[in-house]
Chain A
Amino acid sequence: MSRKIIQIDMNRVEGDVDFQLELEGSRIVDARCVGSLYRGFEQILLGRKPMDALVMTPRICGICGTAQLNAAVLALEHLARLPVPPAAMRIRNLCLMAETVQSDLRQSFLFFTADFCHPKYRSLPLYDKARAAFLPFQGEIYRGALEHSRHIVEIIALFGGQWPHSSYMVPGGVTTPASSRHLIDGLSLLNKLTRWFEKSVIGTPLDDWLALQSADEFFDWLEAGEAHADSAIGLLTRMSREIGLHRLGCGTPHMISYGAYDDPEDVENFSPYRKRLFKAGFLNGDAGSIEPFDQNEITEHVRYSWFLPYPGGRHPFQGQTVPDYQPHSDRYTWCKAPRYRDKVVQTGPLADALIDGEPLIHALYRAEGGNAWLRQFARLHRTARLLKAMSQLLHELAAHPGEPHILPPADKEIPDGEGFGLVTAARGALGHWLQVRDGVISRYQVITPTAWNASPKDSEGRHGHWESSLIGLTVEDPDDPVEIGHIIRSHDPCLVCTVHLLDTGKRLTVWP
């Protein structure tokens, strides 16, 4: 059987990612996920003052800077054992949620659904509706997403001054309290988005939609009238299922979630031992059980990465990031290979929902497994949950006027020691591990969500999650492998990424 290698380039926010796929006939037999851009953040942080991480690390990623900031401040607070008042936790949560909503809307409707406008689907009955909704710059949902994702980050600007890239979470709290002016502005912004989401994305009042708990309830809802079937999520679901995305792109069965949003009621505990509003855990795909999460179980391998080799895996506190660019060896990427309990895992909204025990996502997962459609569906389901949670947060802030938004640390310097900050960014598990010696940063290791999902092979030769979700896939037309586009995009490779796909070097597909 003929073997050939095709190269697929994708675009970026957090580095560049390409895929090299090896096809045997029409079946993918090997996949290499290549992170091709090296920026050297971990080295730039060495020798700087610990607080500088609050300015430098948001610049790791233009789309999840708030999550990076939060991870950095939690690492500092963990190291220095600093308490944070409830109002600060609420403001932080509100801003993190706004960033995630922004990202999920953009990922879903600027990047994922555009694929449904591909001429290949011309003969499908839903094609015209899909184009009217999702066509770049013209579709109604596309334009709505552009508009509303722009406004929701104004909530972050109210508290942080700007989005992207501010540094308003500081050790002990946040820099600005929630004044009544901010709260009303925040509510107005949120309400506007929620009304659009109800009208255009789910075609149903938010609470009714969130009340759907079983697969049957969901599919009955989908059938019950045009408002549901032709809502953005209705169209997305029906198109996906017509194409068969509910059967593709499962990848590794193991999942992790760090949990999301510190519980403001839990004032007893310091980060990272504080309770979270969305639970942390490890979904053991072999046993089918959800087990407690322990960051000690994380290691990173570099066997197939362009870093100075070391044997096996290392915990980030022992981590080492020394570039060793070897383009002509069997090493192929600037991503390390993170493993949890030595297993390949996936992270992201699907993992988060399952580990948190969200009933509808659980039911759909039990019915069909963790496929490309469900991954995308889980992302938008999260948006609905977050809109509700944000409204609750704003009301809680309003109910506690004048409470402190910061407990200024007694000691102005961050002491020597180590700490970590684990958060849930839009794409999943994000961690910062920080060590301070002689008053300056002596080690800083970051594991981004994409690092988990885009992982290369590890020292045992086990493929990363994206790689394994492509291996075994049969590509209908290797010259125009649209299905790969859907699968990779369902993983939200780099939130803002357009996954530039469908390119075999042989034929140019010009569309829309």
Chain B
Amino acid sequence: MTALLWLQTGSCGGDTMSMLCADSPSLEDLVDEYGIEVLWQPSLSMEPMKKLDVLIEAILADRQALDVLCIEGSIITGPDGSGMYDPYRGRSKMSLVRELVEKAEYVVAMGTCAAYGGVHAAPPNPTDCLGLQFDKKNPGGLLPIEWRSRKGLPVINISGCPAHPNAMTKTLAMLASGLPVELDHLNRPKAFFNTMVHQGCTRIEYHEYDVEDAEFGNKACLFFNLGCQGPMTVAICNTELWNGRSSKTRAGVPCFGCTSPDFPLDHDLFRTEKIGEVPVHLPLDVARSNYMAYKSLAHEAAPLRVLNKKMDP
């Protein structure tokens, strides 16, 4: 049995909603097939809230094992460092989380809020919130960057706004089955964060030949004008489809880079920042001069079916 406790801090509940949509494995599978025992989940537990108090007491007194602690939502430290914008029974959730993490074999941040601060930490960050072990992309959040859980891992960051349903349930299944979880430099499991959103986007045919849309509702690539962060963002949106069906970029919505620590970006989210004709941010690790040379060649080579936007994304 793997005992799991899920707490919501400053959140919209979107990660819980997202996880209810997971199908590989599903939530029921985690319970039925992977031996995960949900001690508490705010949206699913039917027991009275008192049970949570009793559980927390038992965990803190080492009378109840806590294998996995999942946190959904930003850690709110305001006002004035008290954390009382997000209280739990007269104390701050912030302080409760700080005590609980010490008892957990693994701590998992579900969503960008819990990992890095997320949408609530956007300027002016009215509630002074941050992530569990990061503050945006800066190391150190509620916990110092050196912090390790009982099993010797930092907080496992399943970022995304919301986190991808199957990234959440697969990670939990991996932990429950004792599979190793390797992390990247932002403590995200590499199994889900070593693929660009761009990989598998059905607009790639256009991107390849540098055929770019200037307004929404069309068929081509959204990178040059419409703010798509797909080539700079790691996530499985286009390799393990959302709700088993699609992804934002496939549906003509730019990738907003919601798995990145700096989501949401401070500037216009639907417009690509450019210097002259060239986007300020190029695909990950690509040198500017090479990129421009490649682009103009590509455009030269574009077949008419692509130039005339005849292909469906």
Instruction: List residues of chain B with CB under 8 Å of any chain A CB.
Output: 8, 10-18, 20-21, 23, 26-28, 31, 42-52, 54, 76, 79, 84-87, 89, 119-120, 122-124, 126-127, 161-162, 215-217, 237, 241-253, 256, 258, 264, 267-271, 312
The digit string for A93-105, where 1 denotes a CB below 8 A from any CB of B, is: 0000000000000
Contact of B20 among A56, A146, A179 (CB under 8 A): A146
Q: Is the CB of A106 within 8 A of B245?
A: no
Nearest-CB distance from B131 to chain A (Å)? 15
Evaluate whether A12 and B251 lie within 8 angstroms (CB atoms) in the complex, with A63-B17, A162-B246 already known: no
Identify the closest chain B residue to A170 (Cβ). B216
Evaluate whether A508 and B51 lie within 8 angstroms (CB atoms) in the complex, with A51-B270, A166-B248 already known: yes
CA gap between A59 and B15 in the complex, in Å: 11
- Extra contacts, 8 of them, besides A136-B44, A176-B217 (Cβ < 8 A), are A61-B14, A150-B20, A161-B250, A163-B21, A165-B14, A167-B248, A175-B216, A176-B251
CA gap between A110 and B16 in the complex, in Å: 13
29 A-B residue pairs with CB within 8 Å: A11-B42, A12-B42, A13-B17, A36-B87, A47-B123, A52-B269, A55-B256, A56-B122, A59-B14, A62-B162, A161-B252, A164-B14, A165-B258, A166-B253, A167-B248, A172-B216, A175-B217, A175-B251, A175-B253, A176-B251, A177-B217, A185-B245, A412-B215, A494-B13, A497-B43, A500-B42, A500-B48, A509-B50, A511-B47
Q: Is A211 an interface residue (CB 8 A)?
A: no
Contact of B18 among A36, A164, A405 (CB under 8 A): A164
Q: Is the CB of A146 within 8 A of B28?
A: yes
Q: Is A44 an interface residue (CB 8 A)?
A: yes
Q: Is the CB of A509 within 8 A of B48?
A: yes
CA gap between A60 and B20 in the complex, in Å: 18
Q: Is the CB of B46 within 8 A of A114?
A: yes
CA gap between A163 and B179 in the complex, in Å: 29
List residues of chain A with CB within 8 A of the CB of B45: 498, 500
Q: Is the CB of A153 within 8 A of B31?
A: no
**5 cross-chain pairs, A with B, having the tightest CB-CB distances, nearest first:** A62-B14, A40-B126, A175-B252, A13-B13, A500-B49
List residues of chain B with CB within 8 A of the CB of A156: 243
List residues of chain A with CB within 8 A of the CB of B267: 49
Q: Is the CB of B237 within 8 A of A162?
A: yes
Contact of A166 among B28, B123, B251 (CB under 8 A): B251
Q: In terms of DSSP, what is the predominant structure of the interface of chain B?
A: loop
List residues of chain A with CB within 8 A of the CB of B47: 500, 510-511
Q: Is the CB of A496 within 8 A of B17?
A: yes
Q: Is A158 an interface residue (CB 8 A)?
A: yes
Identify the closest chain B residue to A404 (Cβ). B217
CA gap between A60 and B28 in the complex, in Å: 27
Contact of A149 among B14, B20, B51, B127 (CB under 8 A): B20
Q: Is the CB of A327 within 8 A of B251?
A: no
Nearest-CB distance from A505 to chain B (Å)? 7
Q: Is the CB of A170 within 8 A of B269?
A: no
List residues of chain A with CB within 8 A of the CB of B11: 62
Q: Is the CB of B253 within 8 A of A503?
A: no
Q: Is A157 an interface residue (CB 8 A)?
A: yes
CA gap between A501 and B49 in the complex, in Å: 6
Q: Is the CB of A65 within 8 A of B14?
A: yes
Q: Is A454 an interface residue (CB 8 A)?
A: no
Nearest-CB distance from B260 to chain A (Å)? 14
Interface residues of A in 357-379 (CB under 8 A from B): none
CA gap between A43 and B125 in the complex, in Å: 8
Identify the closest chain A residue to B225 (Cβ). A412
Count the A-B residue pairs with Cβ separation under 8 angstroms: how many? 232
CA gap between A369 and B248 in the complex, in Å: 45
CA gap between A12 and B86 in the complex, in Å: 12
Q: Is the CB of B264 within 8 A of A56?
A: yes
CA gap between A136 and B16 in the complex, in Å: 16
- Most B CB contacts (10 A, CB to CB) among A51, A173, A179 go to A51
Identify the closest chain B residue to A10 (Cβ). B49
Q: Is A199 an interface residue (CB 8 A)?
A: no
Q: Is A25 an interface residue (CB 8 A)?
A: no
Q: Is A160 an interface residue (CB 8 A)?
A: yes
Identify the closest chain B residue to A42 (Cβ). B126
Q: Is the CB of B264 within 8 A of A43?
A: no
CA gap between A10 and B247 in the complex, in Å: 34
List residues of chain B with CB within 8 A of the CB of A352: none
List residues of chain A with CB within 8 A of the CB of B161: 59, 165
Q: Is A300 an interface residue (CB 8 A)?
A: no
Q: Is the CB of A498 within 8 A of B44?
A: yes
Q: Is the CB of A173 within 8 A of B269?
A: no
Identify the closest chain B residue to A439 (Cβ). B268
Nearest-CB distance from A463 to chain B (Å)? 23
Q: Is the CB of A163 within 8 A of B217?
A: no
The digit string for A107-135, where 1 denotes a CB below 8 A from any CB of B, is: 00011001001000000000000000000
CA gap between A44 and B125 in the complex, in Å: 7
Q: Is A502 an interface residue (CB 8 A)?
A: yes
Q: Is the CB of A161 within 8 A of B87?
A: no
Interface residues of A in 432-474 (CB under 8 A from B): none
Q: Is the CB of A137 within 8 A of B251?
A: no
List residues of chain B with CB within 8 A of the CB of A508: 48, 50-51, 54
List residues of chain B with CB within 8 A of the CB of A173: 217
List residues of chain B with CB within 8 A of the CB of A230: none
Evaluate whether A39 and B15 lie within 8 angstroms (CB atoms) in the complex, with A49-B270, A52-B269 already known: no
The digit string for A293-333, where 1 denotes a CB below 8 A from any CB of B, is: 00000000000000000000000000000010101000000
- Most A CB contacts (10 A, CB to CB) among B86, B244, B251, B270 go to B251
Q: Is A292 an interface residue (CB 8 A)?
A: no
Q: Is the CB of B119 within 8 A of A37?
A: no
List residues of chain B with CB within 8 A of the CB of A49: 267-271
Nearest-CB distance from B70 to chain A (Å)? 15
Nearest-CB distance from B163 to chain A (Å)? 11
Q: Is A143 an interface residue (CB 8 A)?
A: yes
CA gap between A173 and B271 in the complex, in Å: 18
The digit string for A391-405, where 1 denotes a CB below 8 A from any CB of B, is: 000000000000001
Evaluate whether A498 and B253 lie within 8 angstroms (CB atoms) in the complex, with A59-B12, A59-B119, A157-B246 already known: no
Q: Is the CB of B217 within 8 A of A62?
A: no
List residues of chain A with CB within 8 A of the CB of B271: 49
CA gap between A442 and B238 in the complex, in Å: 36
Q: Is the CB of A38 within 8 A of B85?
A: yes
Nearest-CB distance from A493 to chain B (Å)? 12
Evaluate whether A165 and B162 lie within 8 angstroms (CB atoms) in the complex, with A157-B242, A406-B217, A511-B47 already known: yes
Identify the closest chain B residue to A189 (Cβ). B245
Q: Is the CB of A162 within 8 A of B10?
A: no
Q: Is the CB of B124 within 8 A of A161?
A: no
Evaluate whether A500 and B52 lie within 8 angstroms (CB atoms) in the complex, with A63-B17, A160-B251, A164-B18 already known: yes
CA gap between A512 and B48 in the complex, in Å: 10
